[in-house]
Amino acid sequence: MRHRRDEFSVLFVCTGNICRSPIAERLFLARIPSDLPVTVASAGTHGLVGHPVDGPSAIALCELGGDPDGHRGQRLTPHMVGTADLVLTAQSAHREAVLHLDPLAMRRAFTLREFGRLGAAAPAVAGIVDPAVLRERVAEVAARRGSLPPAAAADEVGDPFGASLDVARACATQISSAVDLVIATLGLTGKD
């Protein structure tokens, strides 16, 4: 992921980068207008480098309107974390791994469901999508961490790797709902 100040960058993180984070990445891309100054990527704390999206997860992703084609797993690096404006992880353990790589990412790193939960309680965003405004929005959501009761278990997305299609669908549905909340929180609605 290249970082430019005229773009807002989102990084999704899971373990292998073949189930949860590519589902989130591809649904996010499918649901925002393509002309926004937003870049999106995904990686894994133990990324299965070069691997495509896992079979059941790919099916679930397609069913929700995402496209798994062309995805290749990659391993999370300190550079990826350091250049992302928003890091969204599948589980709190992934967030801890992100912070281990770059402790300065603390106010930019959330579990996917945590960001959606905290963002849903924030005032709506309207107007032109500007990377600086999006960065401010991330800071606003980070500041809400202490204002709402913790929901640790509810902020986690289980790992569907090696599980049945039904489990992959359940995880993908959780991710889909959280992605919609993230998009709404950032004011990126209005797919072209």
Residue reference for tokens 């993908």: 172
Q: Phi, psi at residue 100, to the nearest 5°?
A: -65, -40
The reply to whether 14 falls in a domain is yes
pLDDT at 150: 66
At 143-182, the pLDDT tens digits run 998 777 767 678 999 999 999 999 999 999 999 999 999 9
Mean pLDDT, the chain cut into blocks of 10 residues (192 residues total): 75 98 98 95 97 97 97 97 97 96 96 93 79 94 82 86 95 97 89 54
Question: Domain containing 137: what range?
Answer: 8-186
The reply to whether 1 falls in a domain is no
The reply to whether 2 falls in a domain is no
CATH number of the domain encompassing residue 67: 3.40.50.2300
The reply to whether 3 falls in a domain is no
Query: Looking at the 3D structure of the chain, how many domains does it have?
Result: 1
CA distance 192 to 30: 10
pLDDT at 169: 97
